[in-house]
A and B are shown apart, each in its own frame.
Chain A
């Protein structure tokens, strides 16, 4: 792909950001709700992309991060007086810390075994969430989670539009963080692990430590997404930890285009919109969804972002 002119590339970033920032003034409320959910799922998918796209670590239990974050922030909002501004980052931090232990165990294996270990941990968390009724609410989950804004004018975040901005800021911050991360020397090592772990190890990098670090970061950011979801939806239940959700987020990453950060966000939005639209037209939305999905894997392995950049690349060339 040809490099596009710099001013054009800058536009690609600023334009969507401005659109998203102005969206609440133009779009009806139900679209805003959908958009908020898309951003939360986008953050979730992007966090998984750090592992899948940049390190070639296929987590099959990423729902554990989301679910853990959702339960933690839900519990904090229900049982303490902490405002969202504290509860949400705290839940994400907790998810990241717990993930260090999980990652330490999982990174003992590689390949399919790694995926299966992450799945095992996620299902273990699912079992705990299902049975530890006094904390998690069991099969009912936690309900009535408040959007507590807090003092100093932060109360604005508790309105529907305010919450949208809260999510948007979180996503933007996470995106900038990941963007910088994958371009840093740390990110170069991750890509080294992706391409050839043995060689990276031979170059003197302790690859296992890097893998633990990236898993912890990815789970922390996934936990952030879950922590935002709890006050967004007002509930947290076992479905958020179930393996099906782990499969779905993996779909979002691949359909969007792994290893691009932006792609998975688009993939998440695409997933949500297709689910929403198809379920409007037909009860059998999963059928259409499955077919679209199979077609993507076969005909567009680079995902949505791959298709888009191919187009934009051509447009960029013609401008020059």
Chain B
């Protein structure tokens, strides 16, 4: 394999990995930005997305309905959780949120295991992206290219939502000063519910898109949540652009680290996080903490 082909395929691998990490990271960071909640259940919601996606894809025989319905279902779970549980706790200190979302992670994880069983479930990628293409003479799975495209589309969509729409304006305002936004006659609680729902359904999208690649399994939550945390921390809690940059950084560190120095790849990621935090405690693009 030529160096060029190697770099191309590995970079595309890293980009597709970055897309998955970004779906989780951006949801976490949106939720943190507006609610100051570190959502421990995010990995579990991602897993829920993968399993719901599996069921929908199986019953309809196609991947596309799953891509639509799974994030929707996860979003609904998120909104319900916000309405029933989180809303009671806004006057309490941050640790309360940490605890209840940890509890939610336990409960949801167990419900998933009881519903779908402990075995890993294979999800078929959509027909159009099931094959391989040749890049610089090397075979490469089309599905990973699809992931890269999906990542770009969603990143642009969120950016446009935050930057160009009225809802985005309200979200950004509420993350800076909820009291003022409330005083202007906007129902901040409604905004919170929506953002929590959007963040959760983004995790659901990540889950259903990851499923054809890594199968839907009970272990996928624990593996992913910590990576998502690392991304949010490196990028700066609450920063959209930060989570995008951090997802790219981490994905490239993982893919190339795994290739060149497999023994140190895991440690690299955490060292990177430490380095960033020591230089900028608030993360790359975060406010000084």
Residues of chain A whose beta carbon lies under 8 Å from any beta carbon of chain B: 52, 58, 105, 108-113, 115-117, 119-121, 123-124, 127-128, 130-131, 243-244, 247, 250-251, 254, 284, 286-287, 289-291, 293-294, 296-298, 301
Contact = CB atoms under 8 A, between A and B. Distances in A.
Interface in B232-273: 233, 237, 263-264, 266-267, 269-271, 273
Contacts of B2: none
A123 B273 CA distance: 10
A112 B289 contact: yes
A298 B274 contact: no
B233 to A, nearest CB: 5
Contacts of A120: 230, 233, 270, 273-274, 277
Q: Main secondary structure on chain B at its contact with chain A?
A: helix
Nearest to A243: B226
- A-B interface, 8 closest residue pairs, ranked by CB to CB distance from nearest: A290-B106, A290-B107, A109-B281, A287-B110, A294-B103, A113-B289, A127-B266, A127-B267
Interface stretch (B46-54, B91-99, B121-129, B193-201): B91-99
11 contacts: A108-B281, A113-B283, A117-B281, A121-B270, A123-B226, A250-B98, A290-B106, A291-B107, A294-B103, A297-B96, A297-B103
B107 A297 contact: no
Contacts of A294: 85, 99-100, 103-104, 107
A59 B43 CA distance: 20
Q: Main secondary structure on chain A at its contact with chain B?
A: helix
A286 B109 contact: yes
Interface in B141-180: none
Contact of A293 (B95, B102, B222, B289): B102
B213 interface: no
B111 interface: yes
A121 B230 CA distance: 12
Contact of B103 (A115, A284, A290): A290
A52 B277 CA distance: 21
A287 B226 contact: no
